[in-house]
Amino acid sequence: MTIEELCRDAKNRRSGWALRNTQITRPERFDRLLLILTLAYWLLLGIGLTALSCCAAGMWCSNNDPKACGVFFIGRKMLRRLQLTAVQALAALLKAFLTEAGKWG
């Protein structure tokens, strides 16, 4: 995942959270919203990673290229289809973190 994908996921109205549309004015409420969105984001990333490993790309996009969509978008599209528990989604995310952590500097 690139930083561009992360920013798009937070701002985009069609395929993201559309944070610019919130009408929250109190900082403590915005803090709570960000906490909840962070947890939901992690869960959707886990669902997306699981879908990448077990499903055909045609299930979430119009072509069969698994790299055509970001992991967050895939997670949103496959949320109801995969029926994963939170533990399963977070386990997939943790596995991906541990795999990629070995490649960091």
Check residues 38 and 5 and name the one with the higher pLDDT. 38
Name the token pair of 11. Answer: 């701002």
User: According to the model, what pLDDT value does residue 30 have?
Assistant: 82
pTM of the model: 0.76
Inform me whether the pLDDT recorded for 41 exceeds 60: yes
Please state the domain extents for the chain.
3-101
CB atoms within 10 A of CB 56: 9
> In whole angstroms, how far apart are CA 6 and each of 19, 42, 73?
13, 12, 11
pLDDT score, position 93: 92
Question: pLDDT class for 14, splitting at 50, 70, 90?
Answer: low
Residues 25 and 2: their CA atoms lie apart, in Å, by: 30
pLDDT at 25: 81
Indicate whether 2 pLDDT > 70.
Answer: no
Residue 72 gets the label, from left (phi > 0), alpha (psi -120 to 50) or beta, of alpha
pLDDT (tens digit per residue) in 47-86: 999 999 999 888 888 888 888 888 888 998 999 999 899 9
pLDDT computed for residue 65 by the predictor: 85
